Amino acid sequence: MSSPLYERYLRAQRRRQWLIWLTRLVLLAAFLFLWEFAARWQWVDSMLTSKPSQLWTSFRDLASGGSLYHHLWITSQETLIGIALSMVVGSAIAILFWWSTFASKVLDPYMVVLNALPKVALGPIFFIWLGDRYSVYGMAVAISVIVTIIMIESGFKEISRTKLRLMESFGATKLQMLGMVLLPASVPHLISTLKVNVGLTLVGVIMGEFLSSKAGLGYLIIYGGQVFQMNLVMVSIALLALLSVVLYGLVNLLERFAKRNYHHES
């Protein structure tokens, strides 16, 4: 049975968590209120900034036709595939660097250069090589894969070398050390990398849609800007924010599931 002091501590933590959520909601409501009435009182030009009430009307009009859901689905699909490709390719290259220190030392300068390279410069190349549809995936992977490699490789280096040497002394192969020690111990690093990849991949997808796509929220933003429909631009941006929140929430659920399993196995 827990002590009264610990019970008070738990109640204080719960109250603090509720206060955090309430403050977040108040800040959001205050921002929307200020935005709406700044446009109504003509402090700003609603033709340039739109306003929340117009966004809701535009959302209903676009949603009733079904086109908005189509564009949202395209961007969501591209983002999920981009995240999966970045994690798989990045993890494979990070494992290669761990497996062969020679390969790591040879390719490390190239990783630095590629990480510093402005990825938007690769957009026209991907468009010529991959076409208007698959160039979006190229941009998504190009932006996130280098960071994935660096973060996962850094996580590998933090794994206790004592355990690896102990397994090696018992005659374990590198493949056994990888599967039994390195990858299970790297789950927190993989989850952290996945969190970073959500934002980076979404940036890559939108950038790719800006450059070449004929569908998706990035396409809607560019189209809305060209025809001067700021409501369309703002609705697309709001949906992007909602999509990022949903993806980040899914990663948080995955993290809780992984931690629960890890503690259970420990």
Query: What is the residue-wise DSSP string for 167-220?
Result: HHHTT--HHHHIIIIIHHHTHHHHHHHHHHHHHHHHHHHHHHHHHT-SSSHHHH
Distance CA 114, CA 244 (A): 26
* Residue among 103, 208, 199, 91 nearest 145 (CA): 91
Per-residue pLDDT reduced to its tens digit, 78-128: 999 999 999 999 999 988 888 888 888 888 888 888 888 888 888 888 888
- One-character DSSP codes across 5-72: HHHHHHHHHHHHHHHHHHHHHHHHHHHHHHHHHHHHTTSS-HHHH--HHHHHHHHHHHHHHTHHHHHH
241 shares a domain with 147: yes
pLDDT at position 84, please? 93
Question: Is residue 35 a contact partner of residue 49, using CB atoms and an 8 Å limit?
Answer: yes
Check whether 22 has a pLDDT greater than 70. Answer: yes
Decide: pTM greater than 0.85.
no
Tokens coding 243: 């999509």
The total domain count for the chain is 2
Any domain includes 46: no
Distance CA 46, CA 34 (A): 13
* Residue among 190, 222, 180 nearest 71 (CA): 222
35 shares a domain with 88: no
Any domain includes 52: no
Check whether 258 has a pLDDT greater than 70. Answer: yes
Res. 59 pLDDT band, cuts 50 70 90? confident
How many CB atoms sit inside 10 A of residue 141's CB? 26
130 shares a domain with 12: no
Find the domain containing 35 and state its range.
1-40
132 shares a domain with 6: no
* Residue among 83, 68, 51 nearest 221 (CA): 68
101 shares a domain with 149: yes
CA-CA distances (angstroms) from residue 39 to 35, 45, 52, 58, 241? Answer: 6, 6, 9, 16, 22
205 shares a domain with 77: yes
80 shares a domain with 22: no
pLDDT at position 2, please? 60
